[in-house]
Amino acid sequence: MNFSRTQTLEEIAQIINCEFIGDASFAIKGINEIHVVEKGDIVFVDHPKYYDKALNSAATIILINKKVDCPEGKALLISDDPFRDFNKITKHFNPFIASKVSISESAIIGEGTVIQPNVFVGNNVSIGKNCVIHPNVTIYDETIIGNNVTIHANTVLGADAFYYKKRPEGYDKLISGGRVVLEDNVDLGASCTIDKGVSGDTTIKKGTKIDNQVHVGHDTVIGEKCLIASQTGIAGCVIIEDEVTIWGQVGTNSGITIGKGAIILGQTGVTKSVVGGKSYFGTPIEESREKLKQLAGLKRLLKEK
């Protein structure tokens, strides 16, 4: 999530009322999670297990709960609760703005696009040309939709990420400040749910077609010309490369990659990253030919008994 203007280290420290290490005028352009950080970003870390990963990431400002040696060319924000303060920064620069109308006045809707009754279009949404948005679709703030996109009834774009920190009093939610981006020629079936990124974009690229009742988690990137069948659940921070086919009732772990041209057969649990150009089946996932051989062998053993 980029700020509308560059901030300084001192300005951010004042917002969250914390100590800093580094030049007070150090430039900060935004905040991001560890897997998408860039130079000029803030990343937060609140567990010693991940200190080195955060300190050595592309982020140049680390929001951390312990004083440590600051890497050269970087800065630290010292907080007793980085999770809480990351939320403060998100709310400060991307506050929730309640809508008073069904289609926001700040929304941009392209020529030839049809918006059916009972559609909600939030603030700063952009919808391209020649799209069809069917009844009861909900499009949250900041969503970007390309040209020639079809979205069927009851689909929701931009709900919050499912991301919580367990505390003694219950679960604390990490506030989502990212977006959903649909590129050109994407089709979404009925009752799909595409969550926004925590700080970046959940992206569905050109020409991908998604069936009914599919869930896509936060910060996931789905490549070009993919086919995803109904009742598939894709976790957060997944990378699905181009021309992948996923059949019905597939589920994935978070943070995995499915390689270009892979085929994931129905009811498979994608528990790890898999290379492209192959067919997969089962839980835990294996190449489909090998998994089917195993099942056939097990069936023979049972018959022999």
Query: What's the average pLDDT block by block, 10 residues per block, for the chain (305 residues)?
Result: 94 96 94 90 94 94 95 95 96 93 97 98 98 98 98 98 95 96 98 96 98 98 98 97 98 97 97 97 91 81 74
Q: pTM of the prediction?
A: 0.93
The architecture (CATH level 2) of 2-93 comes to 3-Layer(aba) Sandwich (3.40)
What letter does residue 278 receive in the DSSP assignment? S
Annotated catalytic, 47?
Answer: no
Domain residue extents for the chain: 2-93, 116-290
d(CA 8, CA 220): 30
First-last CA distance in the chain: 61
Predicted pLDDT at 183: 98
Q: Which of 134, 152, 215, 218 is catalytic?
A: 218
Residues recorded for the chain: 305
Neighbours of 157 (CB within 10 A): 29
Predicted pLDDT at 36: 87
Predicted pLDDT at 303: 76
Q: Can you read off the two tokens belonging to residue 300?
A: 């023979």
The architecture (CATH level 2) of 116-290 comes to 3 Solenoid (2.160)
φ, ψ at 45 (rounded to 5°): -145, 135
Residue in this structure with the two tokens 């679709």, named with its chain if needed: 137
Q: Yes or no: say if 238 and 217 are a contact pair by the CB < 8 Å rule.
A: yes
Beta-carbon-side half-sphere exposure of residue 123 (alpha carbons within 13 Å): 7
Predicted pLDDT at 5: 94
Closest among 221, 214, 210, 216 to 187, alpha carbons compared: 210
Predicted pLDDT at 214: 98
Q: Can you read off the two tokens belonging to residue 140?
A: 């949250």
Predicted pLDDT at 7: 96
CA distances from 46 to 96, 101, 226, 248 (A): 25, 40, 36, 38
